[in-house]
Amino acid sequence: MKNQIVGLLILLVSGREALTQDLIDPAHSYAWGENIGWTNWRDAGDPAGSQGVRVHATFLSGFIWGETVGWINVGSGEPASGNHYANVDGSDFGVNIDPNGDLHGYAWGENIGWLNFDTRARGEERARLDAAAQRFRGYVWGENVGWINLDDPEHYVGIVPGDGAHFRRGDTNEDTEVDLSDAIHSIGCLFLGSPCTQCLDAGDSNDDGQYDISDPIHTLTWLFSGGAIPPAPGPFACGDDPTTEDLFADCLYASCL
């Protein structure tokens, strides 16, 4: 019965979108390139950090600074589609984030050219956002500079949520990832008598102020049918709920503590 319900929901579509934004961890803000030295992902701009890299739900924005190579632009923060940079030409370029955390797309440095974040051919060493560990992993490739290492266990680029952070939207089972298991968890709660999430805001995948059948539909449509991503704070990083009109009490979501 559960599999039939999930199969039916995957076919349905809903629409709404919003983006989250998180910051680079001040304690973990550097990546190393053998040919270019350290790159600082946080402190670009004046005052420091005002133009550093930002992590949105489906893309990056801002600048990386390298002492030997200057500014590296990871995206404007305004992709033409609203969700992903096209990366067809220089008018709409940047680094995108897939639902599973994989990175792809390009960053541009005036002194070093393009950096390619689509390194999925490296398998486990591919460039990606590890939401559970709140850090980037893998390697980025530049034709003129070689590999940039995001995978070091000590010197890496981490992320921290914005002010008031406390949940990931759609993560009803609190395993730090939004996937098929969360939709199943919601269906179990709503229809089969299984335990419910203690953070109804996290369960409210479409952010309509209610926890009901439309929420697992929204999650599954995003995952499998190209639907809108769960609204802010989004599914990848912890964040606050910008919607104040709902009736949910403060949620208990241990995965963001």
Each domain of the chain, given as residue ranges in start order, spans 2-18+164-256, 21-160
- Whether a cis peptide bond, with omega within 30° of 0, leads into 242 is no
Confidence of residue 255 (pLDDT cuts 50, 70, 90): confident
Instruction: Provide the pLDDT for residue 128.
Output: 96
- Residue 210 CA to residue 22 CA, distance in Å, equals 25
- Residue 92 CA to residue 76 CA, distance in Å, equals 8
Tokens found for residue 78: 């305004």
Are 60 and 54 in contact by the 8 Å Cβ rule? The answer is yes
Q: Name the 3-class secondary structure at 108.
A: strand
Task: Specify the DSSP class assigned to residue 171.
Answer: -
Q: What digits encode the pLDDT tens for the residues 211-224?
A: 899 999 999 999 99
Instruction: Provide the pLDDT for residue 20.
Output: 41
pLDDT at 18 > cutoff 50: no
Report if pTM > 0.75. no
Query: What's the chain's average pLDDT?
Result: 85
Tell me the average pLDDT across 7-18: 40
Q: Name the 3-class secondary structure at 200.
A: helix
Q: Nearest-CA neighbor of 200 among 192, 189, 191?
A: 189
Q: What digits encode the pLDDT tens for the residues 155-199?
A: 999 987 654 447 899 999 989 899 999 999 999 989 998 888 878
Q: What digits encode the pLDDT tens for the residues 132-156?
A: 788 999 999 999 999 999 999 999 9
Confidence of residue 251 (pLDDT cuts 50, 70, 90): low
Residue 175's Cβ-count burial label (10 Å; 0-12, 13-18, 19+) is: middle
pLDDT at 62 > cutoff 50: yes
Rg (CA), the chain: 19
Residue 66's Cβ-count burial label (10 Å; 0-12, 13-18, 19+) is: buried
Tell me the average pLDDT across 86-92: 94
With a CB cutoff of 8 Å and minimum separation 6, the contacts of 207 are 16, 18, 169, 230, 231, 232, 241, 243, 246
With a CB cutoff of 8 Å and minimum separation 6, the contacts of 160 are 22, 23, 24, 25, 26, 134
